[in-house]
Amino acid sequence: MNLQPLTCIAYSTLAGLSLMLAPISIATAAAPQVKTSAPGYYRMMLGNFEVTALSDGTVDLKIEELLTNTTAAKIKTALARAHLKDPVETSVTAYLVNTGSKLVMIDAGAGVFFGPTLGKLIANLKACGYQPEQIDEIYITHMHSDHVGGLVNGDKIAFPNAVVRADRRDADFWLSKANMDTAPKEAKPVFEGAMASINPYIAAGKFKPFDGNTDLVPGVSAISTYGHTPGHTVYMVESQGQRLVLWGDLMHVAAVQFAEPSVTIQFDTDSKAAAAQRKKQYADAAKRGHWVAAAHLPFPGIGHLRSDGKGYDWLPANYTALR
């Protein structure tokens, strides 16, 4: 069969079409993909308090290597069920609470301590409508670098008018040169990060440790959850009968640790105590129905917990545009 005539018609038709469509297709193809996301903040009201989740960015975590008290096969299954692959892109989030009289930040992101994918906190703080000078108080859940690194900019205080507060047990542990000297080699950078971040505030008389459960400013209190670190603390925020508990590193991997609260992580100083604290806070959140927020849940990391009998389901916050 001779296809020549048909091919000629097809070519000439196509040529005509492409002439007609040329300006449109060029315009469509020329728009470069932007490949950046929205500014990393999310805002909601809690009673009279304004709460803002502030993204410090994300970091890839090798979950199979990091999780303990489980098996690689179980982790694989859990990640597959959540449509995730190892390493998991993991959020690092701090939270801002404007009580109306005090501007409080919980944790401070990683600063320069975890590479270029983190350290976005100040940019997102400015994007969300505040300046670093406006922050009155910063409450630290624990002194790992992804929670304190952003307190400093080089050797300078990044929040010039803020008082930094944390449980004394964490300060005594992570700011001790003697502990650092006897720590395993791989743990030394964690001590160095804590010292580099907190010591400038100590030198300026702006670090005020507390001991255990403490009322801080009206509506915000510290609750001891020692385990992940010696002084790990969660913060309870309450206004007009509404409650939000900011968990810090009470848990790390949503796809695994809600269904299996007993799964622990290598970063735990005392993993048994960390698991017990996690179970207690999970049960409390599910029973009382209050809001929770955690630093490494997918951004903005705010939601509720529901017991499913064996473990828990995570219910991310329904989006609010604050109309």
- Give the binding site for Zn ion (CB under 5 A): 146, 249
Q: How far is the CB of 54 from Zn ion (least distance, A)?
A: 15
Query: What is the H or E stretch that residue 265 is in?
Result: strand 264-265
- Nearest partner of 299 among 90, 114, 141, judged by Cα: 90
Helix spans in 41-161 (H): 63-66, 72-81, 121-127, 145-148
Closer CB to Zn ion, residue 49 or residue 302? 302
Closer CB to Zn ion, residue 239 or residue 293? 293
Q: How far is the CB of 228 from Zn ion (least distance, A)?
A: 8
Q: How far is the CB of 252 from Zn ion (least distance, A)?
A: 7
Q: How far is the CB of 200 from Zn ion (least distance, A)?
A: 21
Q: How far apart are CA 95 and CA 141, in angstroms?
A: 11
Closer CB to Zn ion, residue 98 or residue 246? 246
Closer CB to Zn ion, residue 49 or residue 139? 139
Closer CB to Zn ion, residue 50 or residue 249? 249
Q: How far apart are CA 199 and CA 41, in angstroms?
A: 28
Phi-psi region of 30 (alpha: psi -120 to 50; beta: other; left: phi over 0): alpha
The torsion of the CA quartet 62, 66, 72, 77, rounded to 10 degrees, works out to: -60
Q: How far apart are CA 220 and CA 207, in angstroms?
A: 18
Q: How far is the CB of 282 from Zn ion (least distance, A)?
A: 18
